[in-house]
A and B are shown apart, each in its own frame.
Chain A
Amino acid sequence: MKRSVNRTIALVAVSATAVVAAACSTATGAPATPSASGPQLSGSITVSAAASLTGAFSGLATTFRHLHPTTSVNFNFGSSGALATQIVSGAPVDVFASASPLDMATVQASHMVSGTPVTFARNWLEIVVKPGDPLGIHSLADLTHAKVVAICVVSAPCGSTTQEALRRAGVTLATSKVSLGADVDATLAQVTAGDADAAIVYVTNAATVGAQGEGVPIPPSQNVATSYPIAVLTTTSNRSLASAWVAYVVGPIGQAALRRAHFLPPG
């Protein structure tokens, strides 16, 4: 797994220095209902979140807005690796929700994480095939019969976990039949919208395909779980709102929404 060696240390003006202490306690103190957390929240924040969180977070933003009508939470969804690169190169982001601790560590290494990241969910892998499973794919090993298998690029969390799962299953896919997706959404789309025979994506993605595909579970002995950490960034311009969003995701409402989207509990 090759990561960029000389990523620029951010040119970001770390202006908000004094406020550090107050914020992180709200983030970790999960159980309190976010609405009870006191003074009016206002303004907007940008949350960079792993592509696999698109559905769950978009839904949560709607209910969050009902609680805090004068706020707006904007999203930047993508592969966690790309998002981490953007943050480290100075993208104006308030909260980072990564699909792997590794990409969070990249941001931490640049001293841009405020406090300690909190794990708020986990995810498993699943195979998605064409409706009716015309090729009879029942396992990772069956993927060798497929003409084109879409998997995530190895720099994305779904890519590294996929490689590990294939290794555990003792399956080698020829380069000539692997179509790489930049993130998990792009990977899934190659089956649901395109002509790839199968894709390896997260369980949470497989749950969304509807009539456009079918999920094929991967047994726990071969499957690889990834943890999702979330953190407020030191560069935030709206610390109270950023912390409130993290608390909301970690708290009961966020957790319930994540369970509904088939994410595993963080523990």
Chain B
Amino acid sequence: MGGSARRRRRPPLPLLVPGVVAVGLLALPVVGLLVRVSWWTLASDLTSPVALDALRLSLVCSLWATGLSLLLGLPLAWLLARTEFRGKSVVRAITVLPLVLPPVVGGVALLLAFGRDGILGRPLFDWFGIQFTFSTAGVVLAETFVAMPFLIVTVEAALQVMDARFEEVSASLGAGRWATFRLVTAPMIWSSLVAGAALTWARALGEFGATITFAGNIQGRTQTLPLAVYLALEGDERVAVALSLLLLVVSLAVLVALRGRWLGAWRT
């Protein structure tokens, strides 16, 4: 397939050894998980009421978080890439902060903002009776907080790389902003948009720290798959391993779906 066969050099040993160790470090935990899976009880472990509730909740919440991220993150990504405004670097820093912030800190911060005593949470609760903490909406909020940056960063980068003259030409030909975005911009950044959304979804699906801190751990309401794994580990390791396998498979599926982007041409 790859026509011009590059000269195969023997890899230098000082790089090969740490490289192999790195692969082992990353692969071994996955192998450990696979070895411990109790295959013959897998079906029953995954269909227990707790597991099914967690699975349903995880899917619902992560899809909501992805949708919210698209709804709010996409416009922000466009603003960051296409406009100049004061304090842009501050906005960008705020945007990527959740990427590096420990999720549990994110949970505490969410609590102080949207909790019953939080700066926005208190008026929401006092005036409208809206409470995010210990609710499914709180899970969506926590997942959006940690996952939306993935979408913004990916899409903004794609917009930066894209040649803005296409948009200018479109505008000069009389297309409105929305038509330009729909007919020119969106198709050109489509693969990045899909990749960003998939990353966002995967991150939301795996969210643990912010969720358990902010939304608690209520079966069927806030107990998502990672929370169920954590609690199952305390009591029933077999179920924890089964649920972990499920999350692993989903993560791998995301990776395979995006293989063109990260894994080169998926050559062996």
Contacts and interface: CB of A to CB of B under 8 A. Distances in A.
Contacts of A181: 217
Given A179-B134, A194-B115, A148 B238 contact: no
A235 interface: no
Nearest to B121: A195
Given A5-B238, A195-B116, A177 B218 contact: yes
Interface string B229-260: 01101111110000000000000000000000
A82 B240 CA distance: 13
B134 A4 contact: no
A82 B133 contact: no
Contact of A2 (B223, B233, B235): B235
From DSSP, what is the main secondary structure of chain A's interface residues?
loop
Contacts of A180: 217-219, 223, 231
Contacts of B111: 193-195
Contacts of A175: 218-220
A254 B175 CA distance: 80
Interface in A133-160: 147-148, 150, 153-156
Contacts of B221: 176
Given A3-B235, A4-B235, A153-B235, A147 B218 contact: no
Interface in A1-41: 1-7
A195 B134 CA distance: 7
A182 B131 contact: no
B216 interface: yes
B216 A179 contact: yes
A150 B223 CA distance: 13
Interface residues of A, number: 31
B237 A7 contact: yes
A182 to B, nearest CB: 6
B66 interface: no
A79 interface: yes
Nearest to A181: B217
Contact of B115 (A2, A6, A82, A195): A195
Contacts of A147: 134
B62 interface: no
B236 A6 contact: no
Contact of B217 (A7, A85, A179): A179
B222 interface: yes
Contact of A196 (B134, B213, B231, B237): B134
A5 to B, nearest CB: 7
Nearest to B227: A180
A175 B222 CA distance: 11
A261 interface: no
Contacts of B230: 182
B234 A156 contact: yes
Contacts of A81: 234-235
A2 B236 contact: yes
Most chain B beta carbons < 10 A, residue from A82, A177, A194:
A194
Interface of A: 1-7, 79, 81-82, 85, 147-148, 150, 153-156, 175-182, 190, 193-196
24 contacts: A4-B237, A5-B238, A6-B38, A6-B238, A85-B233, A147-B134, A148-B134, A153-B235, A175-B218, A175-B219, A176-B218, A176-B219, A176-B221, A178-B218, A179-B217, A179-B222, A180-B218, A180-B219, A193-B108, A194-B115, A194-B133, A194-B214, A194-B216, A195-B133
In order of increasing CB-CB distance, the 5 nearest A-B pairs are: A155-B235, A179-B216, A195-B133, A4-B237, A148-B134
